[in-house]
Amino acid sequence: MAVGWKGMPEMHPVAGIRLGTTCAGIRVEGRRDLVIMEVEPGAVCAAVFTRNLFCAAPVLLAREHLALGSPRYLLINTGNANAGTGARGLADARTCCRRVAGLAGVPEEAVLPFSTGVIGEPLPVEKIVEALPAAMGALEPTGWTDAAYGIMTTDTVPKGASRRVTLDGTQVTVTGIAKGAGMIRPDMATMLAFVATDAPVEAALLQRCLEDAVNDSFNRITVDGDTSTNDACVLISTGRAPLSPITSVEDPRYPLLAGAVRSVCEQLAQAIVRDGEGATKFITIEVTGGCDERECLQVAYTIAHSPLVKTAFFASDPNWGRILAAIGRAGIPDLDIGALTVHLGGVSLVRDGGRDPDYREEAAQAVMDRDEIPIRIDLRRGTASARIWTCDLSHDYIRINAEYRT
């Protein structure tokens, strides 16, 4: 069970969006594994994708179709990534889009495909095609929660978030779902995520809104340091709210909407870390006092990716020397180790280049015994800061990934 999971929140429908979920038997019979999202005509779509050079066939095709115009349908399957499948994979993705288009009466390029699951195996096109009518028949404005279940792979819980904000006296909605638990280290957003709003937003501004939100959320999480072949994050504006379009960052309504989008993305991103494969601890790493954000992130990710640090957290062992060693090998030039400080929760670990004279093991142990643990490092060399979220590394992570295909 995900660390601190309180169940799915209320998922407010977004006018102009319907979702349908069904069981196609792609990998496990009887499991929800196929989702269709229907988007009303006239909507605007923004997206960001993985930078992995072995990006999956659906990523290639989604980029191609998105360049031709806004989508009318999104097709999402789990159980098979359709990655590392060459020309056949691309042809299979096209076939699935073509079948959705035929059922819906829209052009093939109006369908965006998304896949997640095992890499290197052919997509079971026949199973997907056979299940498409059921998914289409299940389309409902309230289908968000079912869809959150339908896009899960090794996730133990569904992931959703929803916000409402008032713009010019009109209530608008931002709702989203995501999947991800392993192979999580963003180089964009390591997972699949689908967010929609009924606020009318100009296309270029919607893309900026998404990229800014992703940089502050999905690009600040890591479970295991692996960037997936299938990452995608989509933000759709249906424009159904009775407002004039938002076309500029200077529009006083934009910060309110952007804040709601960022809040939804942050909740989804944190949910992915909380559900990290085998995770028992949710860890926030904050680095301040850097010369720039880049070096703050460099320190934070070096700590987060250390197997020694992560296993110590799994054991609830306040072995803070492992954190110190990670900082020291982060590659920060001219770092004055005598100036920096390290805190675990409210406990000072390091001061003046060594263990704080006031450090008490029992105080650190009390912090390590918690499910949610903050680490704070002050480099004391500038004004930049950065924050990321990660989890521990447990026996179950090894088991889950060792048994993934069996």
pLDDT digits (tens, 9 = 90+) for 13-44: 999 999 999 999 999 999 999 999 999 999 99
pLDDT tens for residues 368-382? 999 999 999 999 999
**Alpha carbon distance 330, 344 (integer Å):** 19
**Alpha carbon distance 96, 75 (integer Å):** 8
Q: Which residues of 328-352 are buried (b: 16+ CB within 10 A; e: fewer)?
A: eebebeebeeeebbbbbbebbbbbe
User: What are the strands of the beta sheet with 111-115, ordered from one edge?
Assistant: 17-22, 34-39, 73-77, 111-115
State residue 222's pLDDT score. 87
Helix (H, G, I), strand (E, B) or coil at 213: helix
Q: What is the pTM of this model?
A: 0.93
Name the burial class of residue 67, with classes exposed (0-12), middle (13-18) and buried (19+) by CB atoms within 10 angstroms of its CB: exposed
Over residues 316-333, the mean pLDDT reads: 95
Quote the CATH superfamily of domain 17-274. Answer: L-amino peptidase D-ALA esterase/amidase (3.60.70.12)
Helix (H, G, I), strand (E, B) or coil at 40: coil
Q: Cα angle at 72 between 135 and 96, to 5 degrees?
A: 50
Question: Hey, what's the torsion of the CAs at 92, 95, 100, 103, to 10 degrees?
Answer: -150
**Alpha carbon distance 147, 158 (integer Å):** 9
Mean pLDDT of the chain: 93
Query: Does the domain made of 282-402 have the CATH classification 3.10.20.340?
Result: yes
Over residues 261-290, the mean pLDDT reads: 94
Q: Cα angle at 283 between 162 and 275, to 5 degrees?
A: 50
Portion of the chain with pLDDT greater than 70, in percent: 95
What is the Cα 64 distance to its own chain's centre? 22
Residue 86 has pLDDT above 80, yes or no: yes
Tokens of 296: 């703050």
Q: Cα angle at 184 between 180 and 190, to 5 degrees?
A: 70
Tokens of 20: 């349908």
Tokens of 340: 């920096």
Over residues 105-123, the mean pLDDT reads: 95
Residue at token pair 């990534």: 81
pLDDT tens for residues 177-228? 999 876 556 554 447 999 999 999 999 999 999 999 999 999 899 887 666 6
Given the DSSP bridges, would you call strands 282-290 and 170-179 parallel, antiparallel or unpaired?
A: unpaired
**Alpha carbon distance 381, 185 (integer Å):** 27
13 close to 170: Cβ distance less than 8 angstroms: no
Distance between the two ends of the chain, CA-based, in angstroms? 21
pLDDT band at 69 (very low <50, low <70, confident <90, very high): very high
State residue 240's pLDDT score. 98
The lowest-confidence range among 182-196, 243-257, 314-328 is: 182-196
Task: Tell me whether residue 78 is one of the annotated catalytic residues.
Answer: no
User: What are the strands of the beta sheet with 341-344, ordered from one edge?
Assistant: 354-355, 347-351, 341-344, 372-378, 282-290, 384-391
Residue 47 has pLDDT above 80, yes or no: yes
**Alpha carbon distance 59, 85 (integer Å):** 12
**Alpha carbon distance 213, 341 (integer Å):** 30
State residue 223's pLDDT score. 81
Portion of the chain with pLDDT greater than 90, in percent: 84
pLDDT tens for residues 160-173? 999 999 999 999 99
25 close to 134: Cβ distance less than 8 angstroms: no
More confident residue, 118 or 112: 112
State residue 228's pLDDT score. 63
Name the active-site residue from 154, 175, 190, 302. Answer: 190
State residue 180's pLDDT score. 83
Q: How many Cβ atoms are within 10 Å of 279's Cβ, its own excluded?
A: 29
pLDDT band at 304 (very low <50, low <70, confident <90, very high): very high
* Residue among 132, 165, 237, 153 at smallest CA distance from 195: 237
Domain limits, the chain: 17-274, 282-402
- Per DSSP, 220 falls in state G
Say which residues have a Cβ less than 8 Å from residue 305's Cβ, sequence separation at least 6.
185, 222, 225
